[in-house]
Chains A and B, each alone.
Chain A
Amino acid sequence: MTVDPVEVAKEKQAGDLFGEFRRSAEAISARVYRAGKYSEAAGIIAGLIREHSAKKVVATATPLVERLSLDGISGEVPVCRDNLRLHAAGADIGVSEADFAIAETGTLVCDATDINARLVSTLPPVHVALVNEDRLVAGLGEAIGLYGCGDRGPLPGYLAFISGPSRTADIERILTIGVHGPAELHIIFVGRPGGGDQ
């Protein structure tokens, strides 16, 4: 978990937000992937489905998720997008998308006003979040600033900042990953800026 401040400073100067994000997120037990194309992202999810022998996947019906055509890649495994209150608690993997990613802390920012965005990211033991690489911002202040200005409209009803999987250290200060929320968080960046075809 030790982060070399010199390295961090260098990254900031170089503007390598992705590198900084990856370092921060991995330090808090998230897994970070970089997919140039949607098909690559879909492949990563297919791999996770196999790896976890998932029987059921739940997903939000949001644009980025829809582009992956999950039904095509998950084989026999059903991908539910409706009635998630009934399906999410029994699902092995939940797929959603984030609006922004904060490099400094490895945090995802999601407008989770739609209850489905919350159900898929809270109930299943594995959460996969997709985010566009051009949505990386440097710090928490910048992210909140994106919502905080009057002309950007009202704040979302439920704004969620997610950093790593759920955790506790309530017994003897021993860190345990995965309590009430997901035990695994996989973050897939899609669409490397200037990375050609998506």
Chain B
Amino acid sequence: MSREIKRDIIKALSNENLRGALGRFGDAYPASREAAYANKDFPALREKIRSIKSYAADNLEDLARSFSEKAAQRGAIVYRAETGAQAREYIVSLALERGVKTVVKSKSMASEEIHLNSALSGAGLDVAETDLGEWIIQLSGQRPSHMVMPAIHMTRGEVAGVFTEETGEAVPADIPYMVKLARERLRRKFLAAEMGISGANIAVAETGTVVMVTNEGNGRLTTTLPPLHVVLVGLEKLVAGLSDTVPILEALPKSATGQKITSYVTMLTGPAGAVDASGNPVQKEMHIVILDNGRTKMRDDPVFKEALQCVRCASCLNVCPVFQLVGGHVFGHTYTGGIGTILTAFFDGLEESADIQSLCIGCERCKEFCPGGIDIPRLIGELRARQTREKGLPLSQRVLLKTVLPSRKMFHGLLRAASRVQKPLLSGEGTIRHLPFILSGNGGNLKLPPIAGTPLRDLLKEGRLNKAGAAAAKGVVGIFAGCLVDFVYPGIGLSMVKVLEKMGYRVIFPQGQTCCGYPVRQMGAPEVMEGIARQNLEALGETPADFIITPCPTCTHALKNIYPEILHKDKSFGPRAVEMSGRVLDFAEFVCRQAEENGLTLKPLKQKLTYHDSCHLKRSLGIDAEPRELIKKAGADLVEMKDADLCCGFGGSYFMKHPELSDQILGRKLENIFASGAGTVAVECPGCLLQISRGLAFTGNKPGVKHLAELLAGLI
């Protein structure tokens, strides 16, 4: 990670205007989006789009050929540009050949991608962006900070300043006035321009049609008034048939701006009629430039092909807790946010995306909202792995990943040593100021919990378990604790044992278990995770456990979903991973399912309680109802906080890598917790527990925060 990005983050965080605008939009977006999708089946729509776009990606060349033929039959001239430079040259030469002096443009992210404006003005042409946001960006010499709302980072006051400079008259910071001014100024440009350049949201191979989705009406004017029209369209916008446009047009406006449909949807098939400025009919010319610039390379990549399913709605930006803090000038290049990180790697090179890869906290909220069904966090993780393979890791991480973590004995030995040497460093409240924890990079005043004196694995050694002598009538449960519960929060493990034994299970703790390996993958070393996965499979496979229960959703996700995926080529461990996957369950899910038949009776908890959804539990494992059911079963008064499933800012090592961002995300979570009025926050993740307690430590630990295992064990 470079020093520049740290500097940019701090700068963005201190920009009140930016945070105000992004925060307000981020708050309002989910509700307006949901209202737009009322009576619509979003998962079904997403599946349709996924299938349409992945079919198109698989048949890109055929569709491009068919599109070109059909568009040519209708009188358009199609040019295939392999690179941005080729597209620029084609458009600039065309303008010069036709004697064009003024150009009007409607919004096109592809033109931003290839820096078309500077090429046109470099050739002496007068180019005007006509989308209001793009015009503001153009006049202020910036780049768009958001794919749909390019100037969202600017206040009305800043826009007034830009307009004052452009017009030479004092422009008040009055939005309707400024909109009117833009209309008048740009109307003159529209009426005079000899060339119009537009983008496209969809290109239909069956008919040679380009489809534009707009709101302001500038797209209609750009494609109507100048007798020469150039469409710049990325190869990934192709779909096979006209009916394929329907799901995309249904989803795009709803996901982008919470509109059921935009003011204008325009379908252009060949050049339509035109007249010159004096009203004489002229032959309209329509040129369609299909841009590759890295898209075929993306298609040929078995992992990243999926990114071509993007419809550029920017919902991954709108719901990203990090984007909401720093905006697109930090989190992105031409394209911003989660998908922007991926597109940057392919359109501008892996190196360009290196810094922004680290901004993804991995909360997977974007994945839940993406109408193209793209697993954006997974793709960003893959970029990290590739970056690491190319550039290697910094020394401290290299030692950790290559030497320490693969050896359970060394890793755990270091953690035990850390527990001994930290003692003089403990603060009065029992949190640790300078954690000598091996994973700590940046752990200044973070109020971290100390490493436990005795890890869970020692507390649960053979002979210390099953004191009641249960006959294992109900079955055997193996606990997979995960590092945090094993070494920092052993109390959660003991609570699990208490609940599970009460339910009649015999509990075992396989001593060969180690870190699940997920953090290693996040750091960009998936191959190290494979080795760790094999160790855990050995450790857990040799036990008589009917179920393997974990108190940590990240561990559950790793054991259940990631091990079978990364070991599928391994003839020996692959099938074992699949077999084990079926036995792995999250603690709350297991207890909730089994509680009734296994007669778990609890003392009633007469308390106001709120529940925080862990990202991995809700989004990777789909578990959000069970913990709530358990809380209700315990007789507590469950009050929902606002945005219960918004990330707490922990993100594994993220809170140490980007403490300034993690703290801000945590702050938002704490506000919602306080507003709920609950006396206790229940969580089902030791990471969330660490993060939220760290925040609540500053407020005298009120309300309290508890893992569900602790909560239930206290009611037995």
Which A residues fall within an 8 A CB radius of B?
1-3, 5, 8-9, 24, 28, 83-86, 89, 104-105, 107, 112-115, 118-119, 121-123, 140-141, 144-145, 147-148, 154-174, 176, 178-182
Contact = CB atoms under 8 A, between A and B. Distances in A.
Contacts of B242: 144, 147-148, 155
Interface string B688-715: 0000000000000000000000000000
A171 B178 contact: yes
Interface in B1-35: 21, 24-25, 28, 35
A118 B225 CA distance: 9
B207 interface: yes
B267 A178 contact: no
Interface string B165-208: 00000000001101100110011001100000000000000010
B342 interface: no
Contact of B183 (A114, A145, A157, A179): A179
A85 B277 contact: yes
A105 B220 contact: no
Contacts of A140: 246, 249-250, 261
Interface in B244-298: 245-246, 249-250, 257, 259-279
B264 A163 contact: yes
16 contacts: A8-B39, A9-B39, A141-B243, A147-B242, A155-B269, A157-B268, A157-B273, A158-B223, A158-B268, A161-B265, A161-B266, A166-B263, A168-B215, A170-B149, A171-B133, A179-B216
A52 B159 CA distance: 31
Contact of B264 (A154, A155, A172, A181): A181
Interface in B109-137: 130-133, 136
A68 to B, nearest CB: 24
Given A89-B187, A179-B217, A113 B273 contact: yes
Given A168-B215, A170-B151, A173-B21, A105 B264 contact: no
Q: Which of B175, B259, B272 has the most CB of A within 10 A?
A: B272
B273 A114 contact: yes
Contact of B266 (A84, A89, A160, A172): A160
A166 B106 CA distance: 14
B580 interface: no
A144 B246 contact: yes
B246 A180 contact: no
A43 B267 CA distance: 33
A86 B276 CA distance: 10
Given A122-B221, A180-B130, A161 B261 contact: yes
A5 B388 CA distance: 50
A1 B34 CA distance: 13
Contact of A180 (B24, B216, B259): B216
Contacts of B265: 107, 160-161, 163
Contact of B267 (A24, A83, A155): A155
A181 B176 contact: no
A173 B24 contact: yes
B164 interface: no
B25 A107 contact: no
A155 B209 contact: yes
A76 B55 CA distance: 59
B176 to A, nearest CB: 6
B218 interface: yes
A122 B35 contact: no
Contacts of A172: 21, 154-156, 175
Interface residues of B, number: 70
Contact of A122 (B209, B224, B275, B276): B224
B150 interface: yes
Nearest to B130: A180
A21 to B, nearest CB: 13
B264 A148 contact: no
B218 A113 contact: no
Contact of A181 (B131, B159, B220, B257): B220
Contacts of B216: 166-168, 170, 179-181
A165 B246 CA distance: 22
A178 B263 contact: no
Contacts of B155: 172
A159 B224 contact: no
Nearest to A170: B133
Contacts of B246: 140-141, 144
B608 to A, nearest CB: 30
Contacts of B151: 170-171
B592 interface: no
Contacts of A173: 21, 24-25, 28, 149, 152
Contact of A167 (B21, B215, B221, B266): B215
B498 interface: no
Contacts of B473: none
Contact of A119 (B132, B218, B224, B264): B224
Nearest to A115: B273
A5 B39 contact: yes
Given A156-B267, A158-B224, A160-B264, 19 more contacts: A85-B275, A113-B273, A114-B273, A122-B220, A140-B246, A140-B249, A144-B242, A147-B242, A154-B269, A157-B273, A161-B264, A163-B261, A166-B217, A166-B264, A171-B154, A176-B179, A179-B215, A181-B221, A182-B217
A144 B264 contact: no
B268 to A, nearest CB: 6
A178 B277 contact: no
Given A144-B242, A168-B215, A157 B159 contact: no
B270 A157 contact: yes
A157 B269 contact: yes
B273 A170 contact: no
A113, A172, A173, most chain B CB atoms within 10 A: A172
A9 B224 CA distance: 38
Contacts of B257: 169
B220 A118 contact: yes
A14 B278 CA distance: 51
B160 to A, nearest CB: 9
B421 interface: no
B668 interface: no
B215 A166 contact: yes
A1 B32 CA distance: 10
B175 A176 contact: yes
B502 interface: no
Contact of B179 (A2, A5, A86, A178): A178
